[in-house]
Amino acid sequence: MNEIGSASAQFNILDHVPVGAFVLRDDLVVLFWNRCLEDWTNVLGHQIVGANIGNYFPHLNEPKYLSRLQNIFEGGPPTIFSSQLHKFIIPAYLPNGQPRIQHTTVVAVNNPANTGFYALVVIQDVTDLTNRLHDYRTIRDQLQAYTVDLERSNRELENFAYIASHDLQEPLRKIQLFSHRLHTRYAGSLNEQALDYLHRMLNAATRMQDLIEDLLTYSRVTTRAHPFEQVDLNRIASEVLTDLEGRIEESGGQITVGLLPTIEADAVQMRQLLQNLIGNSLKYHQPGKPPLVKIRAKINNGWCELTIEDNGIGFDEKNLERIFHVFERLHGRGKYEGTGIGLAICRKIVVDRHRGNITARSTPGEGTTFMVTLPVQQAQSPATTATRSKHAAGP
């Protein structure tokens, strides 16, 4: 058997692998050319076997390739032509005309007579892998840019909170102070129209104060968060009902609370959440009909599913998204007090801070059920870890 026939028998198994493979003698004559390379290059084995590889691929005669091949022929260690540095050793193209991105390894193998070494060249098509890596890097860069923008946005929000808590409130306090002094000292000498103007000014200042306080509360959901801890929702609900005792008695309301679980959460924000939702049910009760509020919870696959159900005025579910937006109100300010930010705070606490979900179902005139889903245990992320160890900065 001649040398080509012997090499064909020795490497025949490589005809059945999904990578390109060929064998070179030390004079660069091709002794074996597998079927995969035939498919990739349209160069058939019977054409190239026995010929010098440089006749078909002249670039392999360049010194940078010849020197590395010579090391292999002398029994040197494997050499790698990575796709990052060498687009291809053997040019090959995909059906769409795109060049294949190749990772090539060349190893020394003994010739049948054990008198020297052949170079076995194995070529792996890494086009899909490289493209996926490129896509990953693009997405990673986009996420990094988004993170920078988000951090900048958070800083701007903190700056706004500082301005709202200091620069805006100070002149507002003066308006309220001098309005009260004017009313106290000169009310008796003012006519009815002047008193009406004064009352309107005081009411507007009070409403502005409420808006600022609610905006501060909204901004501080993330900027002044407390560390996550094990929170007994039974205790939180009891404290909230104590705080709302006056409103409950005034409305003749009845609140029933089922057994609630303990979850990992921000205790202060859980209190804000329940106070806003229960307070919402007390506020929007039907005239002449005492509010009835039922609070229930269950654990389902690692999630706490909390419901707050009432018999209030309800709302049209086409407005479901609106009720969770800042300053969105479905009713006039004269009929129901408030700034329209309470449910927006609830959503920010549940979704942005605790990675949960909040929604509602309702029928006008028949009441509303708010449904809050919270993780029993918070995921261990860098942001969560930082929050555990230190309160977030804020005014």
Give pLDDT, residue 161.
67
Give pLDDT, residue 331.
55
Give the residue from 93, 125, 157 where a domain finishes.
Answer: 125
109 & 13 share domain: yes
394 & 271 share domain: yes
Give pLDDT, residue 166.
66
- Enter the DSSP assignment of 16: G
Average pLDDT per consecutive 10 residues, the chain (395 residues; last block may be shorter): 81 91 94 94 93 93 91 92 77 87 91 87 89 85 84 73 68 81 82 84 76 70 78 94 90 93 93 91 86 94 95 87 72 56 88 92 91 90 41 35
Give the residue from 95, 125, 155 where a domain finishes.
Answer: 125
| Domain interval for residue 103 | 3-125
Give pLDDT, residue 382.
40
Give pLDDT, residue 58.
93
Give the residue from 125, 144, 162 where a domain finishes.
Answer: 125
Collapse the DSSP code of 75 into the 3-class scheme (helix H, G, I; strand E, B; otherwise coil) and give the result. Answer: coil
CATH number at residue 106: 3.30.450.20
115 & 214 share domain: no
Cα(7)–Cα(112) distance, integer angstroms: 8
Burial class (CB in 10 A: 0-12, 13-18, 19+), 198: middle
CA separation, residue 132 to residues 7, 97, 136, 144 (Å)? 37, 19, 6, 18
283 & 377 share domain: yes
CATH number at residue 249: 3.30.565.10
Helices 127-163, 192-223: crossing angle, 10 deg rounding: 140
Give pLDDT, residue 329.
58
243 & 144 share domain: no
